[in-house]
Structure 1
Amino acid sequence: MIMQVVDGVSAADLGAARMQMALSLGWHIVIACLGVGMPAITLLAEWRGHRTGDVHYRLLARRWARALGVLFAVGAVSGTILSFEMGLLWPGLMGTYGEVIGLPFSLEGIAFFIEAIFLGIYLYAWDRLPPKAHLLSGIPIVLAGVASAFFVVTANAWMQQPTGFQARNGRIVAVDPWAAMFNPATPPQTVHMILAAFMVAGFSMASVYAVAMLRGRRDRYHRLGLLLPLTVAAAVTPVQIGVGDWAAHFVASNQPVKLAAMEGVFETSRGVPLHVGGIAVDGEMRYALEIPNGLSLLAHWDPNAEIRGLNEVPAADRPPVNVVHWAFQIMVGSGFALLALAAWLALAWKRRRDLPRSPWFLRATALSGVAAVLALEAGWVVTEVGRQPWIVFGVLRTSQAVNPAPGLVYGFALVIAVYAALTVATVYVLRRLARDVPVPIAPQERDVTDYKIV
């Protein structure tokens, strides 16, 4: 049996390390997005409850805060696993460039502790602080959650556009951590990620109440539980589409190989069409719907602009085209589907200040949480796989950064078991919380009476 070796590491161990990191990041990023978006939506519900006197808003805020506490604890576990994996799986990255990208991770740690402290205060002091003081205690949770996302994504942005150091005789010198953190990729990538977090949180929360309404729970509590997070997500969605265009233009200018993989462009040419669907076979895109000059126009605002093809790059430096292309297609398709749902809501609200009456709207909303997560995961596949074979773009290959020790496949199997257990435990606890449903004090008054948590 012949074992393939890449830069001194077996292909099986390299693949296992990459898959383990993909699993950990893909799992953690969903929890992290909920941790970024849910606090703001929860505070908005609590504020509306105090402002309007509507008890339903306050009950929703209390329910969401309890779920937020669970998700924060689970996110802390998965985040800790990721921090160990960065050092154990990728010593070539952290050992060489740790001082370059250490700053954002340190700042993220500070933001994490601030979030943890104020989340404890917020959960514990619900009936122990005056309403205004309790509401204010939640603001640092929102700010710290957004800050955590920002700091972590700056480190990933550096991996896309490495700056803030010089290499001399194989050593890293002239390190400027601030320049590394605020690299050229930081603005589009951090904004794109933070908006995605609010979309995932808003659509996911709304989808839960859409399912309940499809099952006949049409009272005010469930209507507000759907409407509030859905309105936040719907408002963010068109902004995210614009930011996505900004990010795509950045990729076109700074990572043309990734753009070529996203669109399956093999030959450098002008007036390149936009590919919808299709499969890359033998160095060409087949079965795709082509929009003439579409890619040149979208990438450079010029229908005759030149797009660099993959054939200009050695085969060893090309990302897997079909993976990147279809991830990009899924991300864009999901994003525009969510935009259509947002437009549907806006149109109905403008006409009669109410939710659309069609059951298809509830069905679409019930699926919106899945679509938002799908778009999020697909976007990260484009970002990470589209950079391959580089872990630090143009500087360090993934195969050169991985731990050379054998047996990484066994570690991957262990991590699969850990995340399976985490998933089961998280779902179990959240379902138990869901059983503590708000019910009317008087059964015959289902829409206007005060509620209590039982």
Structure 2
Amino acid sequence: MWERTGWLADASTEGDLSAARAQMGFSLAWHIVVACLGVGLPLLTLIAEWRGWRTGEPALRLLARRWARAMGVLFAVGAVSGTILSFEMGLLWPGLMGTYGQVLGLPFALEGIAFFIEAIFLGIYLYAWDRLPPRHHLLTGVPIVVAGVASAFFVVCANAWMNQPRGFDLRGGRVVSVDPWAAMFNPASPPQTVHMILAALMVASFLTASVYAVALLRGRDDRYHRAGFFIPFILGAIATPAQIVVGDWAARFVAEYQPAKLAAMEGVYRTSDHVPLTVGGIAGDGGLQYGVEIPNGLSLLIGYSPSTVVQGLEEVPRVQWPAVTTVHLAFDVMVVIGMFLLAMGAWLLWAGWRRRRSGAGDVLRMRGMRIFLRLAVLTGPAAVIALESGWVVTEMGRQPWVVQGLMTVRQAVNPAPGLANGLWLVLVVYAAMTVATVYVLRRLARERPVPIAPQESDVRDQPVA
């Protein structure tokens, strides 16, 4: 919902339409990072606690407790930003919610239930840390993980419906015969939900690992910081190849169900076979310019054959074209970062193999691993950029439609004047939330949540992340 839309609105309404898009886009871009941490951080916390319980290592238990406190802060912040988004759906887009609210209601209702389950068990998990046996306490964290994944699933199902609307009939411009289950489990739901959940795990894992990579580079080389790096980095490295496979599945789905979006993603203007894969480039009059072409690449990726026909943008009216340059470059950024994260995971796997073969005792002290740590610092921001780029492709690639083929963004926007005022208010609120969140997390990083036992002396005097 972010790109220029001068062909959709006249001068009298373009300002408010652009303000509504900017406000929604900024809110989503901010919230989605916190939401990903809400999905992935509980799993990381449980892994650390489980390993600490099984091995008896105090550093792992301390790590889990610190992550749990951060998890509570981020849950509260995510609840605020999510509430803002729910209000924005009704205030900014009454055309969408007024027409299709009864179709979209089920996934949002189920997401609310998942949210309350997560909140209840998060309270139990944080309060009962020293009040339950370790095994029982660990089990109270499982519903947090399940509910967090379920919340992401239900919300993305609603977005998938906007790409593949199902579960209703239109008669005389009115929605009838609503089947909310068919709407929620539309054809786009499987690839989009799996893609998003894996992305959430990657963002949470690599962001967390990047913090501890900085600490290791600064000489805080103890069991606490090593575990803080390896646990999330390994989880992210495992999720990355799975994400690449799912991303290929999602791209093939788009090729079949949303060919105009695929044409924008790859900058294909004319329908033909033997279509090259273009890396980089900007949209010109007859196609992408200044890009690097791989002969037959796109036809091979889509249909495993150079003769596969790829539909071009010429098949749809010019006013329905997405912003080709933005969508194409965002897609390229997402793919390049995915390859970078895959290479980083492969590097760590290769280093582990070398260590076992040579009998070396410490993988991080092997030759070249300091360069690896420097690059590992970049994996967290890179994963966030890939996440945001993916959502740019998803939303802008559907434009000008808010509901594919049925309702444009301009038809959905609130016609009342003054929406720009809300944009400035939202920017102020999110700036304050960002400063407050960073401040609280930094304070938590410097405080000790539990007394340190003598065997934890290796981490007692270290500033921690």
Which TM-score band (shorter chain)?
over 0.9
Counterpart residue number, 1:417: 428
Q: Secondary structure at the match of 2:233?
A: helix
Is 1:234 the equivalent of 2:234? Answer: no
Q: Which whole-Å deviations, capped at 9, do the CAs of 1:42-93 have from their partners, x for residues lacking one? A: 0011000011111111111000000000000000000000000000000000
The answer to whether the Cα contact below 8 Å between 1:115 and 1:145 also exists between their aligned partners in 2 is yes
Match for 1:39 among 33, 37, 42? 42
The answer to whether the Cα contact below 8 Å between 2:279 and 2:293 also exists between their aligned partners in 1 is yes
Q: Cα 1:10–1:359, aligned 2, differ >3 Å: closer, same or farther?
A: same
The answer to whether the Cα contact below 8 Å between 1:219 and 1:446 also exists between their aligned partners in 2 is yes
Q: Secondary structure at the match of 2:170?
A: strand
Q: Which whole-Å deviations, capped at 9, do the CAs of 1:116-168 have from their partners, x for residues lacking one? A: 00000000110111111100000000000000000000000000000000000
Counterpart residue number, 2:394: 383
> CA separation in 1, counterparts of 2:217 and 2:452?
20
The answer to whether the Cα contact below 8 Å between 2:38 and 2:74 also exists between their aligned partners in 1 is yes
Cα shift at 1:104 = 0.4
Cα shift at 1:170 = 1.0
Cα shift at 1:416 = 0.7
Counterpart residue number, 2:204: 201
TM-score by length of 1: 0.96
Q: Secondary structure at the match of 1:10?
A: helix
Q: Which ranges in structure 1 are unaligned for 5 or more consecutive residues?
A: none
> CA separation in 2, counterparts of 1:91 and 1:299?
37
Cα shift at 1:112 = 0.2
The answer to whether the Cα contact below 8 Å between 1:166 and 1:173 also exists between their aligned partners in 2 is yes
Counterpart residue number, 1:359: 370
The answer to whether the Cα contact below 8 Å between 2:58 and 2:456 also exists between their aligned partners in 1 is no
Q: Cα 1:445–1:414, aligned 2, differ >3 Å: closer, same or farther?
A: closer
> CA separation in 2, counterparts of 1:311 and 1:76?
43
The answer to whether the Cα contact below 8 Å between 1:331 and 1:379 also exists between their aligned partners in 2 is yes
Cα shift at 1:440 = 7.1
Cα shift at 1:178 = 0.1
Match for 2:248 among 236, 245, 248? 245
The answer to whether the Cα contact below 8 Å between 2:59 and 2:456 also exists between their aligned partners in 1 is no
Task: Give the 4+ runs in structure 1 shifted more than 6 A.
Answer: 438-444, 449-454
> CA separation in 2, counterparts of 1:124 and 1:181?
35
The answer to whether the Cα contact below 8 Å between 2:114 and 2:148 also exists between their aligned partners in 1 is yes
Q: Cα 1:300–1:9, aligned 2, differ >3 Å: closer, same or farther?
A: farther
> CA separation in 1, counterparts of 2:34 and 2:178?
33
> CA separation in 1, counterparts of 2:8 and 2:261?
25
> CA separation in 1, counterparts of 2:239 and 2:205?
9
Counterpart residue number, 2:437: 426
Counterpart residue number, 1:19: 22
The answer to whether the Cα contact below 8 Å between 1:9 and 1:399 also exists between their aligned partners in 2 is no
What one-letter code is carried by the residue in structure 1 that aligns with 2:208? M
What one-letter code is carried by the residue in structure 2 that aligns with 1:408? L
Segment of structure 1 superposing worse, 273-282 or 236-245: 273-282
Is 1:309 the equivalent of 2:320? Answer: no
Percent identity reads: 67
- In the alignment of these two chains, the number of paired residues is 451
What one-letter code is carried by the residue in structure 1 that aligns with 2:424? A
Segment of structure 1 superposing worse, 108-117 or 354-363: 354-363
Cα shift at 1:314 = 1.2
The answer to whether the Cα contact below 8 Å between 2:7 and 2:319 also exists between their aligned partners in 1 is no
Cα shift at 1:437 = 5.7
> CA separation in 2, counterparts of 1:443 and 1:214?
24
Q: Cα 1:29–1:445, aligned 2, differ >3 Å: closer, same or farther?
A: closer
1:10-409 counterparts in 2 under 5 A? 10-352=13-355, 354-356=362-364, 357=366, 358-409=369-420
Q: Secondary structure at the match of 2:458?
A: coil
Cα shift at 1:355 = 3.5
What one-letter code is carried by the residue in structure 2 that aligns with 1:375? A
The answer to whether the Cα contact below 8 Å between 2:274 and 2:308 also exists between their aligned partners in 1 is yes
Cα shift at 1:441 = 6.4
What one-letter code is carried by the residue in structure 2 that aligns with 1:56? A
Q: Secondary structure at the match of 2:18?
A: helix
What one-letter code is carried by the residue in structure 2 that aligns with 1:434? A
Q: Which whole-Å deviations, capped at 9, do the CAs of 1:18-43 have from their partners, x for residues lacking one? A: 11111011100000000000101100
What one-letter code is carried by the residue in structure 2 that aligns with 1:396? M
What one-letter code is carried by the residue in structure 1 that aligns with 2:205? G
What one-letter code is carried by the residue in structure 1 that aligns with 2:28? L
Q: Cα 1:426–1:46, aligned 2, differ >3 Å: closer, same or farther?
A: same
Cα shift at 1:364 = 1.0
Cα shift at 1:309 = 1.1
Q: Which ranges in structure 2 are unaligned for 5 or more consecutive residues?
A: 1-5, 357-361
> CA separation in 1, counterparts of 2:43 and 2:85?
25
TM-score by length of 2: 0.93
> CA separation in 1, counterparts of 2:458 and 2:47?
24
Q: Secondary structure at the match of 1:229?
A: helix
Q: Cα 1:121–1:451, aligned 2, differ >3 Å: closer, same or farther?
A: farther
Cα shift at 1:311 = 2.0
> CA separation in 2, counterparts of 1:363 and 1:8?
49
Cα shift at 1:452 = 12
